[in-house]
Chains A and B, each alone.
Chain A
Amino acid sequence: MKIGIPRALLYYYYSPFWKTFFEELGIEMVISPKTSKAILDKGIKESVPEICVPIKIFNGHVVTLLEKDVDYVLIPRMVSIKKGEFFCPKFMGLPDIVRHSIPNAEDKILYPQIKTNSDNLAKATDILQLAEPLGLSYSELKSALKKAGKEWARFNKICKKGYLIPEANKLMQEKLVKAAPRSGDITIGLLGYVYNVYDEFVSMNVYKRLQDLNVNLVTFEMIRNKDINKYLKKMPKRLFWTFSNKLMGAGHYLNNNPGIDGIIHLSAFVCGPDSMLGQVLESETQKTKKPFMTVRVDEHTGENHLITRIEAFADMIRNSKKKRRWA
C-alpha cells in the first residue's frame, strides 16, 4: 500500500508526525516533489481562478500524486486544534474541494477530521478510523499515533530552540540539540504561514535569502506557546483562525521584544485571514516604531523585485542600528 502526501499546506508543520505514523504502520509514503511551475499549473487547471495560491498549489500536488499510482492521498480535514478556534474555511472544506473538483480523486482520498485541543495531533482520534481503509487494526493505529505524537513533540521542541522547520527536520536524528547559533548581526521576525515561508517556489526562498544576508530569523514555531498566548489574551476578540492567531500572537511578542530589529510579514496574494492580520501588525508596529514590511507573493511576483526589497529592508535596519550605536 502506498499513501500519497502532498508537499503543501500544513505538510511543513506536520511531516514528522505523518512520517512516523506511516513508518510505524509499515506503509510506504509517497511525498510529492517540491513545488514547481508544472505542479502549480496542474493545480491552476483544477482550481477555481479566484482561490488563493496555496490551495492551487495543494491541488497541483494532489494531481501529481494521483498520477503516481498511489492507493490513497491523505488530506486531513483540519477543523480545530484549539478550543474556540478554527482553521481557515478552505482548510475545513479542503477534502470536499478535492473530492469534487479533481477528477478521479473521490475514491482515492483519506480525510480524517482533525478536531483536537493541541497542536500535537496524537489525540485526534478520528485518525484511528483510517484503520479500515488501511486494512490494519485499531490498536496498531493507536500505538502508531502515540509514537507519531512523541516524535512530533520532539520536533516541536527542536523548533523552539531557535531552528527553522527544515533545520529542525535535519536535527531529528541528533540525541541532544543545542540552542541555535546566532551568527547574524541583525535579527528579523519572519511571520507567515508555513506553506508560504517554506515552499521555496512560492516564497522564492525568502528565508534562505535573508540568512544569506547575515540575518538571524525568528519564526512563530520558535516562540513558546506561552509567549504567543500572552499577547493573544489581551486582545478583546481573537481571530477565528488558529494559524492567523499564532502569527498574531507571535507578531505582538516580536514587536515588544527589543532583541528583534524588524518584522517581515510574508503573505500569499489573495488571503482573507492575512488581510486582517496585516492590518493589525501594521498599526501595532507603528506604535512601537519597529521596522515592518509586508512581502506579498503570488504567481506574478518578480524575483528581482523581491530581492531588492528585502535587501533594502535589511540595510535600513543595519543603518539605523549603527546610528543608534553611535548616538
Chain B
Amino acid sequence: MKISFPYMGTTILYKKLLEILGHEVIMPPRPTRKTFDLGVKYSPEFACFPLKVITGTYIEALEKGAEVLVTSGGHGPCRAGFYHEVHERVLKNIGYDNEIIVFDALKDNFFKVLSSFFKIKANNSFAKVKEAIKTVYKMSYSLDKLEKEVTKRRAYEVTKGEFTTAWRKIKELYDNKVFTSEDVEKVELEAYELLNSIKIKEIPEQEKIRIGIVGEIYVVMEPSVNMEIEETLNSLGVEVERSQYLSEWIEFTLVPSRYSKSHEYEILKKADKWLEIGIGGHAKQSVGFIVDFYDRGFDGIIQLMPFGCLPELVAQSIIPKMSNELGIPVLSLSIDEQIGNANVQTRLEAFLDLVKSIKFEKQNKSNIISLQDIINRNRIANRTKEGIL
C-alpha cells in the first residue's frame, strides 16, 4: 500500500522506517502557501494552525496517490489527540475515504497501538521490525546531532548558503545510503567531513550570541511553517538550538517507557517552580527549556506557538515574569497562515539588538544594567504596531 504522513521536521526518517518495512512511500510535499490555503479552506475555522497545515498536506499527499496516512496521535491532553478524528471527517467531506492509521502514545491506548502496529508491520518478521525501528532511531539521533552542528556553525559561514546546501546533501546521504543500523556510523563520518570542509569565521567566544527556541512542537520543528526561523537567525549571525528534536519525539512515540527517564525529565523539573503540573501540549517543556537554556548561558529565547494554542498561551502568560527574574529576553511569536516574512524579520532584528545590548552590558560589569531596564526593553521588543503581541 502507498503510505504518506504529515510533514514535520526531518521527514526522511518516517520514509526510511516505512521503506525498510517494504511499503511504498509517497513523500508528502513540503508545506507551501498552497498547502496552507488548502488546509485553511477545508479545516474547521477555529482549528489550530498545525491541524490546518496537516490537512493541506494530507490532501496534497492523497492527490499524489497516497492510499493510507500514518500519524501519531500526539500526546497529552490537548487537541492533538483529536486531530485524526477531525482529519477523517474533513477528508470524508471532500470525498476521500482513506484510512488514517494512528499511533497513540502506548500508555494511552495499548490495543489501538497494537493494531496500528500490525497494519504497518505487514508481513515483516518481528526481528525485521525491530531492526527497522533501531535503524531509524539511530538515524534520528545522528541527524539531530548534525542538525545542531549546522544551526550552530551556519551563524559563522563565510559563504552564504553553504551549510544549508550541505544539510540538504546530508539528508540525501542518509536517505540513499542507510539501510541498516550499521550504516549510520559510516554515513555520519561522511557527513561530518562535509561540515568540516566548510569555512567559518572565527568569532571570539564572548561575542557569540546563542538563541534557544521553545514552543509547540509542530511550529518549532517544521521550518516551512516557522518561516525558516533557524536559518534566518543564523543568517543574522547567531547560533540556534531548539527545544524539540525528532529523536526525542520518535523516542516518545515508539519507546514510551524510556521517555520518562530521559533528559525530558530534568527539563520538566526545571519548570516546576513556574508551572506546577503538566497541562498538555508542550507548555511545561517550553517553560523548562527556558530555564535550561538560561542555565546553559544562552542569551535569548524565542517562543513559537500556533495562534491561540492553549497550553502555550499558559506558558506565555508566565514568561514575562520568568524573563524578568532570570534577566533573559524572550520574544513570543504566534504563527498562523497570515504571518508575513517581512514582519518577522524586522521583529527578529529588533529582538537581536536587544539581546546583544543586554549581553554586552552584562559583560561590562562596571555598567550593571538594572532589571527594570531589561523588563522595559523586553516589553518594547514584544510590542508590535498593533499593540502588544
Given A50-B316, A275-B46, A278-B46, the answer on whether A240 and B279 have CB atoms closer than 8 Å is: no
Q: Is the CB of A26 closer than 8 A to any CB of chain B?
A: no
Q: Is the CB of B280 closer than 8 A to any CB of chain A?
A: yes
Q: Is the CB of A49 closer than 8 A to any CB of chain B?
A: yes
Q: For the complex, give the distance between the alpha carbons of A98 and B314 in Å.
A: 10
Q: For the complex, give the distance between the alpha carbons of A88 and B283 in Å.
A: 13
CB distance from A140 to the nearest CB of B (A): 26
> Which of A89, A271, A275, A278 meets B311, CB within 8 Å?
A89
CB distance from B43 to the nearest CB of A (A): 9
Please indicate the chain A residues that have their CB under 8 angstroms from the CB of B81 in the complex: 237, 240
Please indicate the chain B residues that have their CB under 8 angstroms from the CB of A88 in the complex: 310
Q: Is the CB of B212 closer than 8 A to any CB of chain A?
A: no
CB distance from B95 to the nearest CB of A (A): 15
Cβ contact within 8 Å between B317 and A237: no
Given A50-B316, A272-B46, the answer on whether A89 and B82 have CB atoms closer than 8 Å is: no
Cβ contact within 8 Å between A101 and B318: yes
Interface string of A232-265 (1 = CB under 8 A from B): 0000110111000000000000000000000000
Question: What residue in chain B is nearest A93 (Cβ atoms)?
Answer: B314
Given A276-B82, A283-B89, the answer on whether A50 and B280 have CB atoms closer than 8 Å is: no
Q: Is the CB of A95 closer than 8 A to any CB of chain B?
A: yes
Q: For the complex, give the distance between the alpha carbons of A95 and B45 in Å.
A: 30
CB distance from A240 to the nearest CB of B (A): 4
Cβ contact within 8 Å between B276 and A96: yes
Please indicate the chain B residues that have their CB under 8 angstroms from the CB of A50 in the complex: 307-308, 313, 316, 334, 389
Q: For the complex, give the distance between the alpha carbons of A283 and B334 in Å.
A: 30
> Which of A79, A271, A283 meets B277, CB within 8 Å?
A79
> Which residues of chain B (16-58) have a CB below 8 Å from chain A?
44-48
Interface string of B366-389 (1 = CB under 8 A from A): 000000000000000000000111
Please indicate the chain A residues that have their CB under 8 angstroms from the CB of B389 in the complex: 48-50
Cβ contact within 8 Å between B281 and A101: no
Q: Is the CB of A293 closer than 8 A to any CB of chain B?
A: no
Q: For the complex, give the distance between the alpha carbons of A82 and B387 in Å.
A: 40
Given A50-B313, A101-B317, A272-B310, the answer on whether A96 and B274 have CB atoms closer than 8 Å is: yes
Q: For the complex, give the distance between the alpha carbons of A240 and B389 in Å.
A: 29
Cβ contact within 8 Å between B44 and A275: yes
Q: Is the CB of B85 closer than 8 A to any CB of chain A?
A: yes
Top 4 nearest A-B pairs (CB, nearest first) are: A275-B46, A93-B314, A86-B77, A92-B279
* Extra inter-chain contacts (20) besides given A49-B389, A51-B317, A92-B277, CB under 8 Å: A47-B317, A48-B317, A51-B313, A77-B277, A79-B277, A88-B310, A89-B78, A89-B281, A89-B311, A90-B314, A93-B279, A93-B311, A100-B318, A239-B82, A240-B78, A240-B81, A270-B308, A272-B308, A279-B89, A283-B93
22 A-B pairs, CB-CB below 8 angstroms? A48-B313, A49-B387, A50-B313, A89-B314, A90-B279, A90-B310, A90-B313, A92-B277, A93-B279, A93-B314, A93-B317, A239-B82, A240-B79, A240-B81, A270-B46, A271-B46, A272-B46, A275-B46, A275-B47, A276-B82, A279-B89, A280-B89
